[in-house]
Structure 1
Amino acid sequence: GRKTAKLPRVELTPPDRVIGRRTEACIQSGVFFSAVDAVDGIVRRILEEWQRDDVYVVATGGYATTVGPHAQTVDHIEPFLTLFGLALAGRAIRG
């Protein structure tokens, strides 16, 4: 809405502290830890649904190196996994 137009944009980067001293720091903390907790939450729900212990969680994609190290449920970080898969598929197609 209109009233939020003056709030600052923030980057998805780890904050220095959870409780900020300024509006921007508080927003950054909320956005960042919401992303981290969303990853942990969805992984925990999947693990409950699958009822397995042998799951290995790989964070991949644009924010994998930012969020992954702070998520408790991530076992490995591979930001370019999709590109590796495309390269393998390309090699397989070419023979």
Structure 2
Amino acid sequence: MSEYLNTEELVAAYPALFSVSMLKKSRMKYADVAGPPHINLGRKVVYDRSDVEAWLLGLKRVVQKSAAVAPVVKLRRGRPTKADQIARRAAY
């Protein structure tokens, strides 16, 4: 049988991942924050430990580092400086 945890027990089991307020916000209908699947038992909310662990595994990302990384080009905003204008004229 599965182990069910209430909100406070889940926060105590995973203190670095969850807070009580984050879990409450994730249960709202139009939540900005996605949270683990929960079960409503009347006014009580419980989380199945196996569902929470499966949800955490779904968040895992694999980052592949490539050898060639494109340089970051900083886009300039606003009016060009006098030096930019002179350099552009010289390039033509």
Please indicate the TM-score interval, normalised by the length of the shorter structure: under 0.3
Higher relative contact order (CA 8 A, sep 6+): 2
Question: What is the TM-score when the length of structure 1 is the normalising length?
Answer: 0.24
Q: Larger helix proportion, structure 1 or 2?
A: 1
Radius of gyration: which is bigger?
2
Question: What is the TM-score when the length of structure 2 is the normalising length?
Answer: 0.24
Q: Larger strand proportion, structure 1 or 2?
A: 2
